[in-house]
């Protein structure tokens, strides 16, 4: 029963923090530490992947029209169509994170084992990035192919727990002069294929077929994260677009400092 309650709490944390620039993976690691989870790295990483898949599904539901355009663009022969161009930018943005995820799979999994000092330090870096983005000159630029590569590199770095994926990608885009609303939309769409690809790879590798894995907490956590994500996605996207990122920077500074203090 305790495992189920912990999974529900982790699912809610994931659903709430996935769409804010405060690092959902970092908050998951902090929540695991607070809840006293003693899972080995592989099982902890499995829960993280499952919860991210749940919020990816909620993103698909919210952005279903945009995703339909991306799919349409991938299969259209017109290389100059807006759908084709946008879909190619999404594909390009995925490359850095995909390469890092495959090349450093074992090393990355080791980071998701309760390294609270690392999470706290990365949250401080996230806060600094958000703070700097507020001082960038604002324009109404759209995402270019070069921008897609740079934002993709930011997403690759954000694989580290504590570096906010949405925060780093949106902040990078804003620093590049991209409109905040366009930056948020691109940020949330670019991660969906990566998460689903990671999920598919884990399934094919048999990661979820192990007899030692209790599937019930994973399923419960998935449902909690999906439902919370559905409710939070629209609300939090609106917050990201309308509010100052400096408020989230302050939050990251506070939580990051607490995490570093907890690790001592």
pLDDT averaged per 10 residues, the chain (length 264): 78 83 80 64 65 86 87 83 90 91 78 79 92 78 91 92 88 87 85 76 64 76 91 75 80 92 81
Q: Which residues contact 24 (CB under 8 A, 6 or more apart)?
A: 13, 14, 17, 18, 51, 52, 55, 164, 165
Residue 209 lies in domain:
2-263
Q: What is the pTM of this model?
A: 0.81
Number of domains in the chain: 1
What is the reported pLDDT for 72?
85
What is the reported pLDDT for 216?
83
Give the end-to-end CA distance of the chain in Å, rounded to a whole number: 31
What is the reported pLDDT for 36?
67
Contact indicator for 66, 185 with CB cutoff of 8 Å: yes
What is the reported pLDDT for 40?
40
What is the reported pLDDT for 207?
59
């Amino acid at each position: 029963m305790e495992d189920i309650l912990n999974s529900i709490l982790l699912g809610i944390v994931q659903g709430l923090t996935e769409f804010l620039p405060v690092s959902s993976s970092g908050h998951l690691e902090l929540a695991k530490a607070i809840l006293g989870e003693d899972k080995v790295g592989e099982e902890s990483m499995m829960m993280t992947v499952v919860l991210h898949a749940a919020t990816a599904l909620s993103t698909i539901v919210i952005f279903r029209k945009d995703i339909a355009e991306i799919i349409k663009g991938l299969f259209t022969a017109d290389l100059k169509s807006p759908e084709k161009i946008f879909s190619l930018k999404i594909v390009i943005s995925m490359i850095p994170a995909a390469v890092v995820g495959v090349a450093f799979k074992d090393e990355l999994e080791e980071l998701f084992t309760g390294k609270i000092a690392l999470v706290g330090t990365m949250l401080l870096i996230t806060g600094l990035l958000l703070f700097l983005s507020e001082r960038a000159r604002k324009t109404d630029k759209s995402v270019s192919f070069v921008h897609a590569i740079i934002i993709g590199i930011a997403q690759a770095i954000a694989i580290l727990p504590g570096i906010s994926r949405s925060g780093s990608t949106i902040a990078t885009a804003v620093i590049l002069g991209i409109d905040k609303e366009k930056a948020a939309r691109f940020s949330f769409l670019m991660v969906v294929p990566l998460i689903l690809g990671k999920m598919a790879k884990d399934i094919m590798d048999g990661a979820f077929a192990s007899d030692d894995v209790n599937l019930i907490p994973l399923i419960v956590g998935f449902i909690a994260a999906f439902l919370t994500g559905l409710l939070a996605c629209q609300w939090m996207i609106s917050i990201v677009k309308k509010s100052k990122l400096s408020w989230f920077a302050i939050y990251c500074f506070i939580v990051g400092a607490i995490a570093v203090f907890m690790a001592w």
